[in-house]
């Protein structure tokens, strides 16, 4: 099992979710996060004082998958979240040791 963690532009969330639904991914967890990489932040002005805000708002999706689905899901996210401009985000894939469904106690891929 793998965890796919994707950091994307917030306004692309609906596109990504719809594309994943269409290919049968049935669940995900998202969080609103802030961060920066190569994309620069922005300037804010309050009463003449300028502030450079480095941390840019992003959305992080976390999806747990069977190994066989990972490549297809990654491709879908890359396609749906792409704008071609800097700041489109990153995807991390990491191994998951165990998954347990709280309601039934099922383990492994059955619990995904």
Contact residues for another protein, defined by CB under 8 A: 44-53
| Smallest distance, another protein to C-beta of residue 43, A | 9
By the 8 A CB rule, do 24 and 76 touch? no
HSE toward the beta carbon, residue 89, CA cutoff 13 A: 27
Backbone angles phi, psi at 53, to 5 degrees: -95, 110
> In angstroms, rounded to a whole number, what is the distance separating the alpha carbons of residues 67 and 55?
33
The torsion of the CA quartet 10, 11, 17, 19, rounded to 10 degrees, works out to -130
How many residues comprise the chain?
A: 112
Report the residue number, 45 or 86, with the smaller CB distance to another protein. 45
Report the residue number, 10 or 108, with the smaller CB distance to another protein. 10
| Smallest distance, another protein to C-beta of residue 34, A | 13
């Amino acid at each position: 099992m793998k965890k796919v963690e994707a950091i994307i532009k917030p306004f692309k969330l609906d596109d990504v979710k719809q594309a994943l639904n269409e290919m049968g991914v049935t669940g995900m967890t998202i969080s609103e996060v802030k961060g920066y990489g190569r994309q620069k932040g922005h300037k804010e002005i309050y009463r003449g004082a300028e502030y450079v805000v480095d941390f840019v708002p992003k959305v992080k999706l976390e999806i747990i998958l069977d190994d066989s689905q990972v490549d297809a899901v990654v491709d879908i996210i890359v396609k749906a979240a792409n704008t071609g401009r800097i700041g489109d985000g990153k995807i991390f894939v990491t191994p998951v040791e165990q998954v347990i469904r709280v309601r039934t106690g099922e383990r492994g891929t059955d619990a995904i």
